[in-house]
Amino acid sequence: MSALATENGALGARVNALRYSLGLSLRELSERSGVSAPMLSQVERGETSPTLAVAGRIAAGLDLSLSQLLRLDEAEHVIVVRAGDGRVRKRGGHRVEELTPPLPGQRADVSRHSLAPGASTGGPADPPMHEPGARETALVLSGEATLVIDGEEHTLREGDSVTFDADLAHHFENQGDDEAEFMAVVAAGLRRS
């Protein structure tokens, strides 16, 4: 197999994976990008190499820049964030450590949260801002945390997890006497069916 065929296959597989992660059909990506569905199919199968102009339109249809689609702006393919080396923010009794490095085209973020007794991640007038269609999954590592979303409370104990539409106003509270810790994964821009 030639190097070009290998590169076409890698690009095609990336386009296919990105399209699926956005929940787009070939027809929908075709409409968003202005590239015909048969051409997109050939690119995804590695049967053809798109011109830079076509690759740029495909990237735009995937909400990426051309350099992000081609991974030209990524220096490394594996980035390890060692324990304690994440980006840390503190506000009141809420400590959050961002564990995901800021990479172009990042579709999900992982963070670790600590809540002191009586603390919260925000409040009704200060909800987290997530883009439309974002979804969040949280796993309680220790203690007890209460998710307040749409005025409804959901108490989570150690080992419990919850998944919810993160573009709705929400926050976590620690209503207990001990510190609560949880991990959160926010997947951005998922489209609802």
Using 70 as the pLDDT threshold, list the residues of the chain that sit under it. Answer: 1-9, 72-77, 102-106, 123-129, 189-193
Going along the chain from its start, the domains and CATH numbers come out as 3-69 (1.10.260.40), 87-187 (2.60.120.10)
pLDDT digits (tens, 9 = 90+) for 51-62: 889 999 998 888
Phi then psi dihedrals of residue 27, to 5 deg: -60, -45
Cβ–Cβ < 8 Å for 126, 162: no
pLDDT digits (tens, 9 = 90+) for 162-174: 999 988 888 999 9
Specify whether the CB–CB gap between 181 and 187 falls below 8 A.
Answer: no
Whole-Å CA distances, 174 to 36, 138, 168? 52, 14, 20
Nearest CA-CA partner of 174 in 139, 141, 128, 143: 143
- What pLDDT was estimated at residue 3? 37
H helices of 62-174, in order, are: 66-69
Q: What is the pTM of this model?
A: 0.60
Return the H-helix or E-strand segment holding 157.
Answer: strand 152-157
Task: Return the H-helix or E-strand segment holding 41.
Answer: helix 37-44
